[in-house]
Each structure stands twice: as C-alpha cells, then as structure tokens.
Amino acid sequence: MALLDVKNLAVSFVTRMGTNRAVDDISFTVESGQITAIIGESGSGKSVACYSLLGLIPRPPGRIDGGSAQFEGRDLLQLTEPELREIRGRDVAMIFQDPMTCLNPYMTVGKQLMEPLRYHKQVSRQEAHQRALDLLEEVGIRDPESTIDNFPHQFSGGMRQRVMIAMALINEPKLLIADEPTTALDVTIQAQILKLIAELQTKRDIGVIFISHDLAVVADIADQIVVMKEGKIVEGGDSDHIFHHAEHPYTQKLLAAIPSDSKEPLAGQPEPIIRVQNLCTWFGQGKGREPVKAVNDVTFDINRGEVLGLVGESGSGKSTIGRSLLRLVPVTSGHVQFDGTDVTGLEGRDLKNMRRRMQMIFQDPFASLNPRMTVYDTLAEPLLLHRIENRKTVAQGVLKLMDDVGLARAFVRKYPHEFSGGQRQRIAIGRALATHPEFVVADEPVSALDVTIQAQILDLMQELGREYGLTMLFVSHDLAVVRHLADRILVLYKGEIVEQGSGDDLFERPQQAYTKQLLSSIPGRALLLS
C-alpha cells in the first residue's frame, strides 16, 4: 500500500477575472523509501498540488474542487484544521522554497528548530537543543554551537535554506515534501542536501515528494518522475524512462533546456580590457578580530569581447570580486584597470563616468528593482542620468531597450511585482544595457529561474553580448551554465583563484582537488556529459 495515494486532485483559484484551474484532475502515488519528483515550469501547478494536501493554500481564493489524498488510511483533504495541524511538521513535513519569508525574523534559529520538536514530541529543552545542534551540523551549518542563537538575517540565503531543511527533518517525518529545496544553494551544498535527503529516505524509510523545475537536479535521486504542465500531468514513469525515452514534447523540451555544451573559443589575439592585479577586499569584524579575507591577492585579465566565468561555492568571494571591479565595495589593496584606467583611484564625476561603461546585473532582480518604479521609470532613469537620452527622446530609448530584451511594449507601465522572475530578470538586463556599457558583471543572473526560462535568458545574454559588443564577468555556482556561456573559467576557493581554463579543460582535465569536488557535485552530471 502506497504511503500517499492522490487521486483526481483538482484545485482552483477564484479571481475577479474568473476561475483558474491550477491543478486539473491529477493522480500520483508516493511509496515509503522512494523519492517521487514532480517536475515542471513555474505556474505548472506543482507547488499548489502539494500545498493543497496540507491545507496550505489560502481559502479563498483557493478551493479544492475534488479528489482524495489517502495518507496512512486518512484522506488529508477531508481533515479539519486542528487535525491537519497535528500531522503537519510531525508526520508530513515541508521544506519551503523561500526561507526568508518562512523563518520568523524575531526568533533565533535555535528556538525555531526546537519549537516543532517540543510541540509534537514534548521533549525537554536540553534534548531539543542537542537535536537542533546535531541537525544543523548534518545540513552543513558551520560551527552550530556559535550560530544556533543567531537570527535569520545573520545567515546567507543558502544557510537559511539549510536551517529550513533542518526544521523539516527534526521530527523525522514519514513524508517529506521538498519544494525547490536547493534553488538558492551552490553545487557542493546542493549535492550535500540531495545526498542527505536520499540517506534519510533509506535510513528512516520515508517517502519524499521533490518539487523542482530542474530535471538535472532530480536525475540522480528520483525513483519516479511526474511531469506537470498547466495543471495537468503530461507524463510519468521511472527515471530511466523519463531521461532516455521521454515521449511528450514538453518533457523533451525540459531535457533540451539543460545546458550541456561548451562555448567555442574566441578567435583572434586576446586584448585585455580588464586587468586585476593583487586584488584584496577584506571586511573588518570589529576591534581585535581578524578581518574576513573575502578576496585575497587575486590577479587575472578579462579580454575584450570575452565572457569570463567565475565559479565557486557560496562564500568563496565571487560576488565580492564583481562588486570590487565596479567599486561597489571598498577595495583593501591592489589595482583594477579598465581600458588602461585604474578604477581603484577614481572618485566623484570620474567614477560616475566610468560606471556608465561598467554595469552590473544583480542576482535577485526583485530586490534590485525599485518596487515603486514602473518599467518605464526603471529604464528611463539611467538614460536620463547619463544624458544618453533627453526628455523628448527617452520614451523611444525605453521602448528600444524593451524590444532588445524581449519584453512586450504593453508592459511599460507595470511594476516589478506584476512580472514573473524571468521577466524581472529581463528588466534588470535592460537596465544594465541602458548606458551601452563595454563591460558587464552578471552576478548569478539565472540562479532562481526555471530551466526553460534560464535557457532563454542565457540565449538572450549571448545575443545581446554580440549585438552590444560586451565583455562580461559571469558569476555563478553552476558549472554547467558557465561552461555553456563562458570562453574561460576561473575557479575560486576561499577568496583565491585555484584553477583556470576552458570549459572542456576543466570538465575533462581538472587539476585541483577543489575543482574535481565541484564537478562531482553537479546534479545529473552524466546527462551533461552524454
């Protein structure tokens, strides 16, 4: 008998525009000791289907139109809220995608970890505290003794996600629902989490629903795969069938979106446009404490027209290097030359003029876009600030940028919250290109996007790179993406460059142990190399 048996589940949302059927008559099972992956793009109904099982969709506007979900002889869809409350966090646990919105900012992570354990199992505070420490260490939190009393804002995005995972596991549930649990994590931590989930499945004989948009992520761990599109299941079966004998065009499209090739090397003689010499960017931690050496004595060149990939784990210094090149963080020592000019010595108007030629695409477009500014205002601002357009011509300039990044002109008066993640990233790219820069730092620009949207953005960046003649520093923890886009790749570890070369060189002939570790951590690596 299956641990979870979902039959004919249908979920709708009632809005002013009418009724939207988000989940349309789907059926699937989850067995104990197995991982069932639910795959599809954003909006396909994956999360809604699983949230509805635990009564987590808002009612109204959400409603369950029909179906059943048998879990240990009880229909979850028929349970009252108090009955569901007893099951949630004890028998069925959930790892949410966005930890920042799920963790209480006023409570330490230790208290938040201990709370579900003490609520459901009435253990002592001391026992709960020790269990919390053990789990924090298990999910990869460094020095849990000193961090257990920290608040969520004191952790990085990846660290917060690990706390969420620990919270879900602390009661040893029978069914674990993981909603994009590795989206914000670098490849090595992602591999650890995937391994952890697989080990829990075996050790505790639990069933797992793994929700993801990335087929490569589930390639190594899923026993069964369910593919969803527009609220319906279009294909399902074991992993071998899905990856090697996919029948539905949509499944084939998802597989085709996984980056797997290396970029052809640049032709002609290299001409450095960026020269970085002995760059150090350190951050002080207070009087009497050693500074954090985020970037430590780094030297490299970026050639004109080149895409240089920068890879490494979270905390390795990748983003700090990008921000240092643009003077967005203070440089401790060393030099950054852009087209023969030492950027580290510029101030005032000279720095402003240089920044017109050097732009950045930030990791989180929602956080980097002003929520009170429309697309028009966002794109018009740099055009007017740098006097590229005037009041009479700025509208035409805005519309051209929207055309260049593939945004419909009808969206010009919309605000950031009215767009999908992929659309917001297009706005961010358009804003970076507004000044017609020669050099762009792209800091994890596709990390949180669906694989199909990710492929679109990567293709867009390649096209715009050729059209605008861009030189680019592409920062990412995803080696497969970097291999697809970059001419050369630098591998960063603890603020220092440990290896560099072409995508083929690093993938096929890695020299350093750390590079080999990164490569071995890539999800679905066999798919990428096949």
Confidence band for 448, pLDDT divided at 50, 70 and 90: low
pLDDT (average), residues 294-323: 91
pLDDT tens track for 390-411: 999 999 999 999 988 888 899 8
Q: What is the mean pLDDT of residues 456-475?
A: 86
Percent with pLDDT over 70 in the chain: 96
The yes-or-no verdict on residue 6 having pLDDT over 80 is yes
Apex 405 CA angle, 258 and 302, nearest 5: 70
pLDDT at residue 261, rounded to an integer: 62
**Domain range 272-529, CATH class:** alpha beta
Q: Find out whether 345 and 362 touch, Cβ atoms under 8 Å.
A: no
**What is the pLDDT averaged over residues 349-368?**
86
Q: Which contiguous run of DSSP H or E holds residue 252? A: helix 249-256
Per-residue pLDDT at 528 exceeds 60: no
72-88: average pLDDT:
91
Residues 515-525 have a mean pLDDT of 79
CATH of domain 1-82+200-256: 3.40.50.300
d(CA 188, CA 95): 19
pLDDT for residue 440: 92
Domain positions in the chain: 1-82+200-256, 272-529
Mean pLDDT, the chain, whole residue set: 86
How would residue 216 be classed by pLDDT, with cut points 50, 70 and 90? confident
Give the pLDDT mean for 466-483.
86
pLDDT tens digit sequence for 132-188: 998 888 877 878 888 899 998 888 767 787 888 888 888 888 999 998 887 767 777
- Between CA 173 and CA 40 the distance in angstroms is 25
Residue 281: Cβ-neighbour burial (10 angstroms; 0-12, 13-18, 19+) = buried
The mean pLDDT of 24-53, rounded to a whole number, is 90
Judged against a pLDDT cut of 60, whether residue 353 lies above it is answered with yes
What crossing angle do the helices spanning 157-169 and 125-138 adopt, rounded to 10°?
Answer: 130
For residue 471, pLDDT over 80 is answered with yes
Sheet strands side by side (includes 272-283): 292-303, 272-283, 333-338, 341-342
Could you check whether 1-82+200-256 and 272-529 share the same CATH topology?
yes
Strands 224-229 and 292-303: unpaired
pLDDT at 143: 85
Q: How confident is the model at residue 193 (pLDDT cuts 50, 70, 90)?
A: confident
pLDDT of residue 77: 93
pLDDT tens digits along 232-274: 999 999 988 898 888 999 998 888 877 766 666 666 677 899 9
Q: Kindly state the average pLDDT of the residues 289-302.
A: 90
C-alpha span between 180 and 194 (Å, rounded): 11
Query: pTM, whole model, 2 decimals?
Result: 0.75
pLDDT exceeding 90 applies to what percent of the chain? 37
